[in-house]
Amino acid sequence: MKKHISHVLFYTATTVFVACSGTNTNGNEVTDSSKQTQDTTKLAPVETNPANSAYKPAFAGQTRIAGVKTTTAFEGKVVAEGLKSPWAAAVLPDGRLIVTEKAGNFKIVDTSTGQLSEAITGLPKVDAQGQGGLLGIALDPDFSSNRMVYWVFAEPASSGGNHTAVAKGKLAADEKTIEGATVIYQALPSHDGKLHYGGRIIFDQNGNLIVSTGERSDAVTRPQAQDLSSALGKIVRITKDGKAVAGNPYEGDSKARPEILSYGHRNVQGIAIHPETGDLWNTEFGPRGGDELNLVKPGKNYGWPTITYGIEYNGKEIGNPPIQQKEGMEQPVYYWDPVLSPSGMIFYTGSNIPEWKNNLFIGGLSSTHIARLVIENNKVVGEERLLAKEGQRFREVVQGKDGAIYALTDAGKLYKIDKK
């Protein structure tokens, strides 16, 4: 594979700061952010386009917060290319990445050389139509000894249609196949559709799996986000064997699925645990406007489709009348209008760029940038856009063993973002 590397120092579109500019040897504009001296907490919001709706936020700072600017000089560069619609990545013990490709393959990427492995075989069949396919991936906390991998995929249903499913298997010692692949969980009911599978999976502090599902988008399935007897539009918490975790909020409720942790979600493609508080956070797609960042608490209702800050794609309002707040339903900590189209996300725990500590980094798809959010006391206090000039749909964001951030794009590129 031909390795292509482009060296660029990325910065926000906000230019109300003092900086020295020039051109590097590749002809790319470079901003020396290390010379920036202005107070970075008082920049204009990064979003300048008009909103899709005239809805008002529930509290100050819920949207269009002040911009921030990284003062440490950093760069983003392409370290690998040639992946086919990559969707998610997990970091192997030696620092390489195991990546899911939407059509149904695992591949291993060497972040130092850019080399891609051959497709790893042994996975169950996926339904790769529309937004479906091979989705999220997580390694067992004891992967170094047991080599177990867990993943989410759109599974064809024997009765027709498909559903979000979770499987596990052992990565063979030669890294060419998955041994003993077994489906451990299915988010039912199945539906004959191509949209909104959710698909993220992470391990919590107790070694259980947290998995996101979508409400499958269509008018007939959308209300199931509010239905506790359905697994659609939920965040679920299961064991490594796919069973409901003891102590889940609906344990013992005959009218609810015991694996449900939270509900009222639309299409969650980002989940992460705060490294210090242990809190669970998620990002999810709104419709036209109203993408959300939520602090997820057990048993809470996040409102979709009853409340939303978005409108239908055709411009019509959602709900009659449309409402954005309702007692018993959680408000997003933050929302975007126009949309971010948020996908994979991480809290940064590295030491390479100390000012990023505990900041949230979210891959943006239609927005074609990575959003950096500064969070204090569970409130967003600053937002920055990274890699915005690359014009890429950023699907996944992970932190490597080297403390750098790695980001996958729908076009098959792997970026490394680190101190310059």
Which residues carry out catalysis? Answer: 196
Q: What contacts 224, CB < 8 A, 6 or more positions away?
A: 189, 215, 216, 230, 232, 233
Residue position matching structure tokens 């020039």: 22
Tell me if residue 258 falls in helix, strand or coil: coil
How many angstroms from the chain centroid is the CA of residue 241? 24
For 327, phi and psi rounded to 5 degrees? -60, 135
Q: What contacts 36, CB < 8 A, 6 or more positions away?
A: 17, 18, 19, 69, 71
- Please choose, from the candidates 232, 229, 264, 233, the residue with its C-alpha nearest in 3D space to the C-alpha of residue 250: 229
Residue 203: count of CB within 10 angstroms of its CB: 16
∠ CA(41), CA(42), CA(43), 5° rounding?
Answer: 105
16 secondary structure, DSSP code: -
d(Cα 76, Cα 235) in Å, to the nearest integer? 32
How many angstroms from the chain centroid is the CA of residue 257? 24
Distances in Å between the alpha carbon of 394 and those of 157, 361, 369, 406? 30, 11, 7, 10
Residue 60: count of CB within 10 angstroms of its CB: 8
Residue 290 CB burial class (10 angstroms; 0-12, 13-18, ≥19): buried
Q: What contacts 285, CB < 8 A, 6 or more positions away?
A: 196, 266, 267, 269, 291, 339, 341, 342
